[in-house]
């Protein structure tokens, strides 16, 4: 679509420029059912109707897609290319209809046909293109770039199976393929005309040209074809449409006939299996050398295809690759696409004949890099032997980049050997590895963190040395969320209250939500918001009953911890408090505990054994607590499996208390906190990530902050991470750990949690024990606050009113003006 300039007037249907009536939509759906699906209404299944509605909606998007494409070519607007290994876009049907403004008339049209739009929304599978916050952020950013009419393309991988579908069997996580494409995808367009040969392995030949220049020719030993699939991404009110282009891997020769005829059927398809593995699964386990190689193949595959594609587009329009930095901005979403820097140098030098210095200037002008983590292991590094074998030309280029980089540092007076070692792209202390974070840093003109605290810590920790050499290159862009999806779409009850109170302009600008603060003390408003919350909680309660056969009370406090399972996100701290609360309820029946439902959800990486054990512990604790009548309905615990965007859309409107309890200094931003606060949840959390800005926005009295600060965590670690003394001094913690270790929650295997408790006792790196007493005390404050229903609802309304600043529209406007230098149109 991005290369086909069409006379839209010749193809658009009558009325495409404005709102569609129910009658027009009904006719369109029936036409799609007949001509695209091949069914008549009398025999159409629910899936047939879903496809017909999706195709009818897509038709309206395509018309605007063509208009947007033509406009970008006509005005020569600078393009933004967002490279991300994940795009967690979720279901698209209702989102597209909402942005087009046709959700209500479509629902009316379908009612006339005897079809439920609610049922059709459930039929659509979640696109399995991401895991957690990183991928959902990319999806929110794509929405906001379209909303602000930025000429943007998202580039990623079209995973056949995505991350995995999570099942809980016997309390343990099990993984199964997420086959979201098994019945096709009505939102995508295959573009076989845009395919690229991506090389791996082989050798590099050095040749002398007639002009006496030395040239390098890479002769790959293996070539895989990258085939484009395009999904249109429509912005708010349908004014602009961008493209999400995903790459699927295919073998150039998918079938060896000679091997097949020789009855070697496995060998006949071996090339296909090896090639297609690249786009099969998100984050294959890297616990083995083969797994590491597959991850690197994935990252290079999509980075190379994306660069070849965007440079082809640039040369087609502007003729000269030398102007790339003027007309294109490439954003690297974390370190996964960092190999793109070496790949662009190869393309510019080896394929386009540019000199080194000119090519490097173009690369730095083109790239910018978002860092999402302070965890050194998450910055990615690759063994030099693997790089030399799989990408030999790129390893040469990385060595040359590194030499120029270190020479430049020395010339500016940075001569200390330990400093130079930390600056180097090659880590010589861990078996020689290529530091992809360092490569992304020096190859970009701007590097941004994703919250004020995270950016400050970046300067002081993981990029301290690079920041000293390249001062001013690091900037902050606090993450945001698409508030229309995460409030207006997923919480129609609260959205209706906002629209009736503030008007429809509140849908255009999240800042307009501030007007709700004036109603925070209004008893009628509090009652309406409470009723909407209870309705949402009843929906979630029905979901829990359907999935787990477990009844939960919508009038209890819904205390929610929904995140990727990781030790630094401290689900363990929450579970320990749950056990301590369980003990306290039984031991002190006169204490007025607030009735609570503890709700957990999230996936553990397939090879992350400790995270899987944490899930098992949560399920074990739930089994014991939920079957104990002495708890008297004051505590329930549930773990909902297969957390994804659609499940999040059900949970988030129902949250009373949002758990954001990561070890201070380790969560870069967190966007779940923003979504839940936007929907009126109160947050319990550490001063970590965007919690700092959230506290500033909502006020100390409307958030529950506890625990060590990032500086205190660092100071505590410097004195040792053995928590034996802390445990001895905390009766509640000691009792909880003793019970877990002794098998109270694992009578089928009393030794199951010995190692876990031993780690918490003697190697408490994530400060679980260090923060336990403060966390437990703060949870008791939460109980007290819950009993004051008027004040709780006041705080809830103020949270919704004051967190509009976290809109991804604001974040993207900052990227566009301060990093990309790309034009955009603010919503008015």
Give the active site residues.
372, 563-564, 569, 671, 675
> What number of residues does the chain have?
828
Structure tokens at 497: 């209250």
By the 10 Å C-beta count (0-12 exposed, 13-18 middle, 19+ buried), 513 is classed as: buried
Q: How far apart are CA 620 and CA 637, in angstroms?
A: 10
Phi, psi of 805 (to 5 degrees): -60, -25
Q: Which residues on neighbouring strands pair with residue 166, listed in sequence order?
A: 175
CA-closest candidate to residue 533, choices 575, 486, 493: 493
**Using an 8 Å Cβ cutoff, are 735 and 580 in contact?**
yes
Beta bridge partners of 329: 80
Helical packing angle, 571-587 and 609-626, nearest 10°: 20
What DSSP string describes 694-739?
HHHHH-GGGSEE-S--HHHHHHHHHT----HHHHHT-HHHHHHHHH
Phi, psi (degrees; rounded to nearest 5) at 66: -65, -45
Buried b (16+ CB within 10 A) or exposed e, 524-537: ebbebbbebbebbb
Structure letter (DSSP) for residue 484: I
What lies within 8 Å, CB to CB, of 535 at 6+ separation is 493
Q: Give the CA-trace dihedral at 531, 533, 535, 539, to 10 degrees.
A: -170
Q: How many CA atoms lie within 13 A of 263 on its CB side?
A: 0
Radius of gyration in angstroms for the set of CA atoms belonging to the chain, rounded to a whole number: 27
In sequence order, the 6+-apart residues with CB closer than 8 A to the CB of 806 are: 478, 479, 480, 481, 483, 510, 674, 677, 678, 690, 693, 694, 697
**Type and span of the H or E element at 560:** strand 557-562
| Residues contacting residue 264 through CB under 8 Å, at least 6 positions apart | none
**CA 249 – CA 226 distance, rounded (Å):** 5
Are 594 and 557 a contacting pair, CB within 8 Å? yes
Instruction: Please calculate the CA angle 44-46-51 and round it to the nearest 5 degrees.
Output: 85
């Amino acid at each position: 679509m991005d290369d086909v300039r069409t006379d839209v007037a010749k193809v658009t249907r009558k009325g495409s420029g404005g709102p569609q009536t129910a009658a027009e939509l009904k006719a369109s759906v029936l036409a799609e059912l007949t001509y695209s699906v091949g069914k008549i209404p009398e025999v159409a299944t629910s899936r047939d109707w879903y496809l017909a509605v999706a195709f009818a909606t897509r038709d309206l998007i395509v018309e605007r897609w063509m208009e947007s494409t033509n406009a970008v070519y006509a005005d020569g607007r600078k393009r933004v290319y967002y490279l991300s290994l994940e795009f967690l876009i979720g279901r698209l049907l209702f989102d597209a209809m909402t942005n087009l403004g046709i959700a209500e008339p479509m629902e009316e049209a379908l009612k006339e046909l005897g079809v439920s739009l609610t049922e059709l929304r459930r039929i659509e599978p979640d696109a399995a293109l991401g895991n957690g916050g990183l991928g959902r952020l990319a999806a929110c950013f794509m929405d906001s770039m379209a909303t602000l009419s930025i000429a943007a393309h998202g580039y990623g991988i079209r995973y056949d199976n995505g991350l995995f579908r999570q099942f809980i069997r016997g309390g343990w996580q099990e993984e199964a393929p997420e086959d979201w494409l098994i019945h096709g995808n009505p939102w995508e367009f295959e573009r076989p005309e845009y395919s690229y040969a991506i090389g791996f392995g082989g050798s590099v030949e050095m040749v002398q040209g007639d002009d006496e220049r030395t040239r390098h020719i890479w002769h790959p030993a293996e070539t895989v074809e990258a085939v484009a699939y395009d999904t249109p991404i429509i912005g708010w009110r349908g004014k602009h449409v961008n493209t999400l282009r995903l790459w699927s891997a295919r073998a150039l020769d998918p079938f060896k006939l000679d091997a097949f005829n020789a009855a070697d059927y496995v060998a006949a398809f071996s090339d296909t299996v090896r090639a297609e593995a690249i786009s099969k699964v998100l984050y294959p386990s890297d616990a083995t050398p083969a797994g590491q190689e597959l991850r690197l193949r994935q990252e290079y595959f999509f980075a190379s295809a994306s660069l070849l594609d965007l440079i082809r587009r640039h040369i087609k329009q502007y003729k000269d690759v030398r102007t790339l930095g003027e007309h294109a901005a490439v954003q690297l979403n974390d370190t996964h696409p960092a190999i793109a820097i070496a790949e662009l140098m190869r393309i510019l030098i080896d394929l386009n004949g540019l000199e080194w210095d000119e090519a490097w200037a173009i690369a730095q002008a083109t790239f910018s890099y978002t860092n999402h983590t302070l965890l050194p292991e998450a910055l990615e590094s690759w063994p030099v032997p693997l790089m030399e074998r799989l990408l030999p030309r790129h390893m040469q280029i990385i060595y040359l980049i590194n030499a120029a980089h270190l020479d430049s540092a020395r010339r500016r007076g940075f001569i200390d050997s330990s400093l130079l070692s930390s600056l180097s792209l090659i880590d010589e202390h861990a078996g020689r590895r290529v530091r992809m974070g360092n490569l992304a840093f020096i190859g970009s003109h701007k590097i941004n963190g994703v919250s004020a605290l995270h950016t400050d810590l970046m300067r002081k920790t993981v990029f301290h040395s690079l920041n000293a050499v390249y001062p001013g290159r690091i900037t902050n862009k606090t993450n945001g969320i698409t508030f229309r999806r995460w409030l207006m779409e997923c919480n129609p009850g609260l959205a209706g209250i906002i629209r009736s109170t503030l008007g429809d302009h509140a849908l255009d600008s999240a800042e307009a939500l501030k007007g709700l603060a004036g109603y925070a003390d209004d008893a009628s408003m509090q009652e309406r918001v409470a009723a909407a919350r209870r309705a949402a909680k009843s929906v979630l309660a029905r979901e829990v009953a359907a999935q787990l056969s477990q009844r939960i009370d919508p009038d209890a406090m819904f205390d929610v911890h929904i995140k990727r399972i990781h030790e630094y996100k401290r689900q363990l701290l929450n579970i320990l408090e749950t056990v301590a609360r369980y003990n306290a309820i039984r031991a002190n029946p006169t204490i007025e505990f607030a009735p609570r439902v503890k709700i957990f959800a999230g996936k553990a990486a397939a090879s992350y054994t400790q995270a899987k054990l944490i899930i098992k512990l949560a399920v074990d604790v739930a089994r014991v607590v939920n079957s104990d009548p002495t708890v008297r309905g004051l505590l329930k615990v549930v773990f909902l499996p297969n957390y994804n965007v659609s499940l999040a859309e059900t949970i988030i409107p129902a949250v009373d208390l949002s758990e954001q309890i990561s070890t201070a200094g380790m969560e870069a931003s967190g966007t779940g906190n923003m979504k839940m606060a936007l929907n009126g949840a109160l947050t319990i959390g550490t001063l970590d990530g965007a919690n700092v800005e959230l506290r500033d926005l909502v006020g100390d009295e409307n958030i529950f902050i506890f625990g060590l600060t990032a500086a205190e965590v660092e100071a505590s670690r410097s004195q040792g991470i053995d928590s034996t003394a802390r445990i001895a001094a905390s009766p509640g913690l000691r009792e909880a750990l003793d019970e877990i270790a002794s098998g109270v929650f694992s009578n089928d295997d009393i030794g199951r949690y010995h190692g876990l408790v031993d780690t918490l006792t003697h190697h408490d790196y994530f400060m679980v024990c260090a923060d336990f007493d403060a966390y437990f005390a703060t949870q008791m404050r939460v109980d007290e606050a819950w009993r004051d229903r008027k004040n709780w609802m006041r705080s809830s309304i103020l949270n919704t009113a004051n967190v509009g600043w976290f809109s991804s529209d604001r974040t993207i406007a900052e990227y566009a003006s301060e990093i990309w230098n790309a034009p955009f149109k603010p919503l008015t």
